[in-house]
Amino acid sequence: MRQTLSRHHTGGRAHPRENSLAAVTFVAGLVAFATGAVQSTHFIAVCVGIAAFLFGLYSQLVSATTTERWINVIGLGLAFVGVGLGLSHGGFTL
């Protein structure tokens, strides 16, 4: 019997919580990166980036599939770079 690709990556079960956590981590990391690139939004970049990084660490802890882990790592990297850019543009100063 041939298994489908989606069944192989999910272990035969749906993981809605883990998929949602991975998606939120990626989107928040992308927001942190995008706002970190703009000098006037450095405060938002730092706040969102730190929250995304902590959220992503938890998401990585409970992830169930390799695909979720890849999305988490990319989101964590974007959040880290976003925080770095935000800090270089002024950090927590308003």
Give per-residue pLDDT as tens, 9-33.
666 788 899 999 999 999 999 999 9
Residue 50 lies inside a defined structural domain of this protein: yes
Distance from the Cα of residue 25 to its chain's centroid: 3
Residue 67 lies inside a defined structural domain of this protein: yes
46: domain range?
A: 22-88
pTM: 0.85
Residue 17 lies inside a defined structural domain of this protein: no
CA distance 64 to 13: 10
| Total structural domains within the chain | 1
What is the pLDDT of the chain when averaged over all its residues? 90
Question: What does the angle CA 78 – CA 94 – CA 49 come to, to the nearest 5 degrees?
Answer: 15
Residue 2 lies inside a defined structural domain of this protein: no
pLDDT exceeds cutoff 60 at 6: no
Crossing angle of helices 16-36 and 42-62, in 10° steps, is 160
Residue 93 lies inside a defined structural domain of this protein: no
Sign of CA dihedral 61, 20, 34, 48: negative
Residue 70 lies inside a defined structural domain of this protein: yes
Residue 11 lies inside a defined structural domain of this protein: no
Residue 5 lies inside a defined structural domain of this protein: no
Three-class secondary structure of residue 23 per DSSP: helix
